[in-house]
C-alpha cells in the first residue's frame, strides 16, 4: 500500500491511497473461506460449498467490504501517526476514478482533507467576572425544610400519599389486534412530578393497584417523562396513547426534627451541638452552593471567551461543502456560524485535554448519569435503599446504550469539558463582585 499526502494550504490537503491486491488478498481469502463454511446451498453439504462458487456469488461484495475496511483503517492511522488535526470527513475528489469491482485488482482513492493548523492557547487575554451572594433568612428556612425531608425516615406505606415515590410497571395499552409489542418498563414515579389533574389517580392506591392514564398526562414536563421512559426529551414529548401503571412498592420520607441525631448525620466529623450552630453551618454550605453556581457561570464565560479570542483557522469552504453533502436538510449549513463556534470549542477542549493528559473512565460516565437521574427524581444526595440504587443503575445503563451510543458520547464529552474548564479555571483570576440573590440570578440568566 502507498499513501501520499500533498498539502495545498494550511487548511487543505489531498490524500492519495494506492491499495494493491497483496494488501487485501489474504484477508479476502479468509472471508470467502469462512463464508463457505456458513452458507447453506442446495446440492451441497453444510461447509462444503466450493470457494470458487462462493467467489462468483458474493466475491465482489466481500472484496468491496474488505477494501473499504482497509481504506478506512489506513486513512485513520495515517492521520493519527502524522498528528494531523482533521475536521469533517475526508471528501472524495471530483476526479476520483470509477471502480470496477468485477475486474480491478488494484485500487486508487483520492480525498480532500480539511485541516486545522496548530494554534496557541493563552488564558491571559480572558476578561472575567464572578460573584459573591448573601444568604437571606427566607433561603435559610427553605433549605432547612428540604434537609428535614432529605434525611427523613424511609417508610413503605400501604397506600400512596402526595410526595411519595411509587415503583412499579409502566405498560402501553395497544388497540385490540395490534401486531407490535407494547412498551413496558419498570419505573420509579416521583409523585411530586405527577401533574395536578393526574395525581388523584395515584393517591390512596396500594400494591398491585392498576392506574390508567394518557402518557402525556403523567408528568409535568417532557424532560422528566424522557428520564422516566429512557428516551430523549423530543421523543418523550411525542409519546401518545393509553398506559397502565401497576403499583409494586411505595416509598415515603418522614421529615426529621432539627435534633442532635440530624446534626451528627450531616456533620459527623464536626462538633455541632445546638440548632444555632447547625444553622450557621448550613448557612455556610448555602454560601458554598452559591459559590459553586457562580463558578459554573464563570466556566461558561471562560468557554465563550476562549471561542471568541483564541485564533483558530478553519477550512470554511471545505466544511460548508462537507456539511452540504452530509446534511440534506442543510440545517448546519444555514447556521454555519453556530456550527463553527461549536467546532472551535471542541478543538480548544481537545487541546486542553491533550496538553493536560485528561482521561475519562467508563465508571465516571455511569456515575454521572445515575446522579443525573437522582436529581431529576428529586432524590439529590439523600440516602437510598438498594432497590432504588439498582433502579438508577439500570436507567443509567439503558440511557447510555441508546441512540447508537450517542448518549454515552455526549456524557463523555460533557465530563471532558468539565475537566478542561477546571484546568483553565485554576489559571485565571476573575474580578469578584458582591451581589444579592436576585442580582445573582439575573446575572446568570435565571430571571
Question: What pLDDT sits at residue 92?
Answer: 92
- pLDDT tens digits, one per residue of 97-131: 789 998 899 999 999 999 999 999 989 889 999 99
Per the domain annotation, does 90 fall within a domain?
yes
Co-location of 105 and 28 in the same domain:
yes
Per the domain annotation, does 240 fall within a domain?
yes
Co-location of 250 and 295 in the same domain:
no
Q: Is 237 exposed, middle or buried (0-12, 13-18, 19+ CB in 10 A)?
A: middle
CATH number at residue 176: 3.10.50.30
Helix (H) or strand (E) holding 19: strand 12-19
Per the domain annotation, does 176 fall within a domain?
yes
User: 184-203 burial by CB neighbour count: b if 16+ within 10 A, else e?
Assistant: eeebbbbbebbeeebeebbe
Per the domain annotation, does 145 fall within a domain?
no
Structural domains of the chain, count: 3
User: 104-134 burial by CB neighbour count: b if 16+ within 10 A, else e?
Assistant: eeebebbbbbbbbeeeeeebeebeeebbebe
Co-location of 107 and 170 in the same domain:
no
Q: Confirm if 366 and 395 have CB atoms less than 8 A apart.
A: no
Q: Confirm if 249 and 158 have CB atoms less than 8 A apart.
A: no
Co-location of 160 and 293 in the same domain:
no
Co-location of 434 and 307 in the same domain:
yes
Co-location of 88 and 189 in the same domain:
no
Question: What pLDDT sits at residue 184?
Answer: 94
Per the domain annotation, does 83 fall within a domain?
yes
Question: What pLDDT sits at residue 98?
Answer: 86
Q: How many helices (H) and strands (E) does the chain have?
A: 15, 11
Per the domain annotation, does 76 fall within a domain?
yes
CATH number at residue 366: 1.10.3120
Per the domain annotation, does 439 fall within a domain?
yes
316 lies in which domain range? 281-443
**Which regions in the chain score pLDDT beneath 70?**
40-43, 45-49, 51, 328-334, 380-384, 446-447
Co-location of 311 and 218 in the same domain:
no
Q: Which of 200, 219, 254 is the last residue of a domain?
A: 254
Per the domain annotation, does 130 fall within a domain?
no
Co-location of 97 and 58 in the same domain:
yes
CATH number at residue 81: 3.30.70.1050
Co-location of 288 and 247 in the same domain:
no
* Coil, strand or helix at 392: helix
Co-location of 246 and 321 in the same domain:
no
Co-location of 421 and 295 in the same domain:
yes
Beta strands in 236-370 (DSSP E): 242-254
Co-location of 80 and 178 in the same domain:
no
pTM over 0.85: no
Amino acid at each position: 500500500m502507498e499513501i501520499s499526502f500533498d498539502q495545498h494550504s494550511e487548511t487543505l490537503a489531498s490524500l492519495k491511497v494506492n491499495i494493491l491486491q497483496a494488501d487485501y488478498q489474504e484477508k479476502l481469502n479468509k472471508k470467502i473461506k469462512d463464508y463457505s463454511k456458513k452458507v447453506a446451498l442446495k446440492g451441497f453439504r453444510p461447509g462444503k460449498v466450493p470457494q470458487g462458487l462462493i467467489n462468483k456469488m458474493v466475491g465482489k461484495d466481500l472484496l468491496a467490504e474488505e477494501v473499504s475496511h482497509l481504506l478506512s483503517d489506513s486513512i485513520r492511522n495515517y492521520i493519527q501517526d502524522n498528528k494531523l488535526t482533521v475536521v469533517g470527513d475526508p471528501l472524495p475528489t471530483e476526479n476520483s476514478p470509477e471502480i470496477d469491482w468485477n475486474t480491478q485488482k488494484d485500487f486508487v482513492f483520492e480525498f480532500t482533507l480539511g485541516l486545522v493548523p496548530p494554534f496557541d492557547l493563552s488564558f491571559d487575554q480572558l476578561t472575567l467576572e464572578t460573584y459573591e451572594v448573601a444568604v437571606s433568612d427566607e433561603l435559610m428556612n427553605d433549605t432547612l425544610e428540604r434537609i428535614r425531608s432529605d434525611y427523613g425516615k424511609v417508610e413503605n406505606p400501604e397506600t400512596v400519599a402526595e410526595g411519595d415515590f411509587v415503583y412499579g410497571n409502566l405498560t402501553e395499552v395497544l388497540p385490540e389486534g395490534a401486531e407490535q409489542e407494547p412498551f413496558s418498563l419498570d419505573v420509579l414515579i416521583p409523585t411530586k412530578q405527577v401533574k395536578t389533574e393526574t395525581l388523584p389517580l395515584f393517591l390512596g392506591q396500594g400494591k398491585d393497584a392498576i392506574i390508567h392514564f394518557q402518557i402525556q398526562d403523567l408528568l409535568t414536563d417532557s424532560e422528566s417523562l424522557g428520564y422516566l421512559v429512557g428516551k430523549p426529551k423530543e421523543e418523550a414529548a411525542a409519546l401518545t396513547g393509553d398506559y397502565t401503571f401497576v403499583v409494586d412498592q411505595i416509598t415515603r420520607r418522614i421529615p426529621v426534627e432539627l435534633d442532635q441525631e440530624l446534626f451528627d448525620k450531616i456533620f459527623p466529623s464536626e462538633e455541632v451541638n445546638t440548632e444555632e450552630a447547625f444553622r450557621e453551618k448550613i448557612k455556610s454550605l448555602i454560601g458554598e452552593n452559591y459559590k459553586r453556581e457562580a463558578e459554573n457561570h464563570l466556566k461558561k464565560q471562560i468557554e465563550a471567551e476562549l471561542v471568541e479570542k483564541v485564533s483558530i483557522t478553519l477550512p470554511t469552504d471545505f466544511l460548508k461543502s462537507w456539511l452540504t453533502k452530509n446534511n440534506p436538510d442543510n440545517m448546519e449549513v444555514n447556521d454555519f456560524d453556530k456550527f463553527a463556534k461549536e467546532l472551535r470549542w471542541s478543538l480548544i477542549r481537545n487541546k486542553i485535554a491533550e496538553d493536560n493528559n485528561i482521561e475519562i473512565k467508563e465508571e465516571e460516565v455511569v456515575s454521572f448519569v445515575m446522579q443525573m437521574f437522582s436529581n431529576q427524581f428529586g432524590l439529590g444526595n439523600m440516602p437510598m435503599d438498594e432497590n432504588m440504587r439498582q433502579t438508577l443503575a439500570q436507567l443509567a445503563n439503558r440511557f447510555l446504550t441508546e441512540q447508537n451510543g450517542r448518549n454515552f458520547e455526549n456524557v463523555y464529552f460533557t465530563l471532558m469539558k468539565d475537566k478542561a474548564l477546571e484546568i483553565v479555571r485554576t489559571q485565571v483570576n476573575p474580578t469578584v463582585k458582591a451581589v444579592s440573590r436576585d442580582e445573582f440570578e439575573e446575572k446568570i440568566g435565571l430571571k
